[in-house]
Amino acid sequence: MIHLTIQQLSSLLDEELSEASAALAREHLTSCESCSSKFARLGKQEEALARALGSDPEDEFFERFTRRLEERIQSEGPKLIPAKPASSEREQSAPMAHASATPASAAHASVAPASAAHASAAQTSRLAPLAPTSRAPGSRADTSQEAHPVRPVYEPLAHRILPSSSAQRQNGGPFPWAAAILIVAIAGGIGAFLFGTELVSYLLGASGLSSTQPRSAPLTRPGADDLHPPQYATAELGSPASEPPTDAPPPSTAKPVDRTVKSHESSTEEDSSADLESREEPTSGGTGESAATYEAAASDWEQSLASLHGDEYRAARLHLAEARYRAWKLEPTKERAARVVGAIRAFLVGSQPGIDRENATRWLSEVEGSGY
């Protein structure tokens, strides 16, 4: 007896055979136990596959998805082509949308300081590498966004981080502080290259700029294994910039330590030294490090993603992946391995070649090769 091929069975399953072929195949199935059994197993497998491959989140998930994308594309305008004018009806219904998508518009100008603050926040966040620096959904920033739908959620934070730069620049202020800080940082970098790091570190520390470390520093230097998750001290919960997301999981498992997540404004030399001191103890014993604290940090980063975009979003993705990886490293489980892989892949999507990508790829290989 000639049996049906897997292609024929598969096509029959998908109802992609012609009527005549399908009729012949069905006739064969009624008389061939082997093919009928195989077809039945294919059908059962199909049901299992549909369950395994399927994920259909609720509408709220996609509403958040669209909001996040909207925030992102507000700051990353398209390369426009000379276009036909939009209809007046649409302009009336969404005037801000047009304005913010036009590079020279006033709306776009109002986004720029926030973007500068994002970069600054991303840089300073490296002081506490696993601590999210922005608000999570549901925080006060979200409230302001609802009142002004096209205003970037990060704008209030921008004013906090750069009180004299973003605000004054918008008002034609006298001095571009952000540019000045950038110039000093570049000069510091050149100095470090020319004169060694100790002198420059001292100078930067003395001027309060020691927090402006390269984005990838904690990952690139030896001892990168000793990253610490955020520790939210009770005394700091009221501080606007260090306040954890309102819906963040309580860091109940975190052992209280002196080093806490500092606000951007209050980053001081002591912060740096405390931070570096705390990094000298990579083991889980006695430092407050545990898989649970890293998981808590990861949750915080995860929640912060909703209000970030651009470089800061990508930096948060990296922190999230790293926190997940550290948690798995300390206490490997299958569930943690799956979460690490998901977080790393999410970071790798669209990430540029570089040390961060290499590190993330290495972590991924390690987790995938571990059997977990």
Partner 1 sequence: MIPNTSVSTRTPLEFLNASKEAELIGEAQSGDRVAYLNLVRHYQRPLYRLAYAMSRSEEGAAALAQEAFARVWKDIAEYPSGRRFFHWLLHVVRNLPGGIISTSAAPDGDDPLLKAIEALRPDDRMALALRIVERVRYQEIAALLNLPTGIVILRIAQARGLMLAGTGNLDGGEP
Residues within window 8-47 making contact with partner 1, judged by CB under 8 A: 9-11, 13-14, 16, 26, 29-30, 36, 38-47
Q: List the one residue from 1, 20, 53, 147 that touches partner 1 (CB under 8 A).
A: 53
- Number of chain positions touching partner 1 (CB under 8 A): 83
Contact 124, 212 (CB under 8 A): yes
List C-alpha distances in Å: 310 to 95, 120, 187, 205, 361: 24, 12, 26, 29, 21
Q: Which is nearer to partner 1, 56 or 198 (CB)?
A: 56
**Dihedrals phi, psi of 70, to nearest 5 degrees:** -60, -45
How does DSSP classify residue 188? H
Using the rule CB under 8 A, is 57 a contact of partner 1? yes
Q: Give kind and range of the element (H or E) at residue 53.
A: helix 33-53
* CA distances to 8, 301, 360, 364 from 342, in Å: 36, 14, 12, 9
Two tokens, residue 83:
């276009």
The interface region with partner 1, picked from 5-13, 153-161, 175-183, 247-255 by CB under 8 A, is 5-13
How many Å apart are CA 181 and CA 213, to the nearest integer?
A: 12
* Shortest distance in whole angstroms from residue 258 CB to partner 1: 33
Residue type, 33: E
Binding of residue 148 to partner 1 (CB under 8 A): no
Nearest to partner 1 of 16, 247 (CB atom): 16
CB of 40 to partner 1, least distance (A): 4
Nearest approach, Cβ of residue 78 and partner 1 (Å): 5
Report the 10 Å Cβ neighbour count for 241.
20
Instruction: State in angstroms the smallest separation of the CB of 71 from partner 1.
Output: 11
User: Between 343 and 372, how does the x/- string for binding to partner 1 read (CB under 8 A)?
Assistant: x-xxxxxxxxx-------------xx--xx
Q: How far is the CB of 221 from partner 1 (least distance, A)?
A: 25
Helix, strand, coil content of the chain in percent (nearest 5): 60, 0, 40
Token pair 């489980």 in the structure block, residue: 333
- Taking CB under 8 A as the binding criterion, the range among 51-59, 195-203, 228-236, 238-246 that sits at the site for partner 1 is 51-59
Task: Specify the 3-state DSSP secondary structure of 372.
Answer: coil
Q: Rule CB under 8 A: choose which of 148, 221, 255, 334 binds partner 1.
A: 334
Q: Round to whole Å and give the CA distance between 243 and 141.
A: 12
Q: Which is nearer to partner 1, 62 or 193 (CB)?
A: 62
Quick check: 108 binds partner 1 (CB under 8 A)? no
State which residue, 232 or 301, has the beta carbon closest to partner 1.
Answer: 301
Q: Which of 21, 23, 66, 365 binds partner 1 (CB under 8 A)?
A: 66
